[in-house]
Amino acid sequence: MAESNDLDKLVYSFVVDDVLKGLFIYVPPGYVACVYDLGRGVLKKVLTPGLHLKIPFWQKAKLFNVQTLEYSISRQFNPEHANALGDIPIAAVTQDGKRVGVEGTILLRLDIHQVPSIWQTVGEDFVAKIVRPAIRSRIRMVFSRFDYANIIGSHRDSVEMELKNELERIFYPRGIYVENVLLSEISQIHQP
C-alpha cells in the first residue's frame, strides 16, 4: 500500500512539474520571451509580459531582458564571468602616443523585434561574442583619433559622441541599441 502512495506521488509530481509548468510561460515586466519549437525552430513572434501558453516538451521558452542594460567598464569587473555585462578597464593609445586605461558605462538595450534573430544567429552569449569585442575595438579606434589632453579636457563629449556613433553602426543592424556612452575615468598608463 505504501508503494502505491509513493508511485502516485511520483506520477503526480511528474504531471505538475513537467506538464502543467511546461504549459505556461510567465514573462515578467521588462522582459520578452522567445520560443524554440522543435518543428519550426525559433519562432518570429515575441511574447511580451504576461502569461502565455506553450506546448510542453515541444516548445522551449527563453527570457531576454529588454530594459536598459548597463555595461560597466571598471576595475571591479570580474573577467572570469565571460557572459557578464561589463569589462575590465580597456587599454588604448591616443593620437599623441599616450597609453591610457579607459573606464565608463555604456547603456544598451535589445530591440524587442530582433530578439528572435539574435537568439537564432548569435545565441544567448551575445555579450561575449559581439558586445565585448566590439566595445574594446571601437574604444581603441576612437581614442587613437584624439590627443590625451583633448580627451580629458574640452573634447570629452566629442569622444563620447564619436564612440556612440561607432558602436551604433555595429550594434544597430544586430538588434542592439546604444542609448549612451559615459566615460568616467581615463587614466594615463605609465610605461616602464
**Of 124, 120, 132, which is closest to residue 171 (Cα–Cα)?**
132
CA distances (Å), origin 110, targets 70, 82, 101, 170: 12, 19, 28, 13
Range of the domain at 44: 2-65
Q: Which residues are within 8 A (CB) of 1 and not within 5 positions of it... i.e. 6 or more apart?
A: none
Same-domain check for residues 54 and 18 = yes
Same-domain check for residues 161 and 130 = yes
Tell me which residue has cell 569622444. 159
Same-domain check for residues 97 and 119 = yes
Q: For residues 182 and 107, is the Cβ–Cβ distance under 8 A?
A: yes
**Of 35, 14, 169, 28, which is closest to residue 115 (Cα–Cα)?**
35
- Tally of domains within the chain: 2
Q: What percent of the chain has pLDDT over 70?
A: 87
Same-domain check for residues 102 and 168 = yes
| Cβ count near 142 (within 10 Å) | 23
Reported as a single tens digit per residue, the pLDDT across 11-36 is 554 444 455 567 889 999 999 999 99
Average pLDDT over residues 156-175: 94
**Of 108, 115, 154, which is closest to residue 131 (Cα–Cα)?**
108
Same-domain check for residues 165 and 81 = yes
Reported as a single tens digit per residue, the pLDDT across 47-91 is 999 999 988 889 999 999 999 999 999 988 887 776 678 999 999
Same-domain check for residues 8 and 80 = no
| Domain endpoint, select from 14, 36, 65 | 65
Write down the pTM of the prediction: 0.80
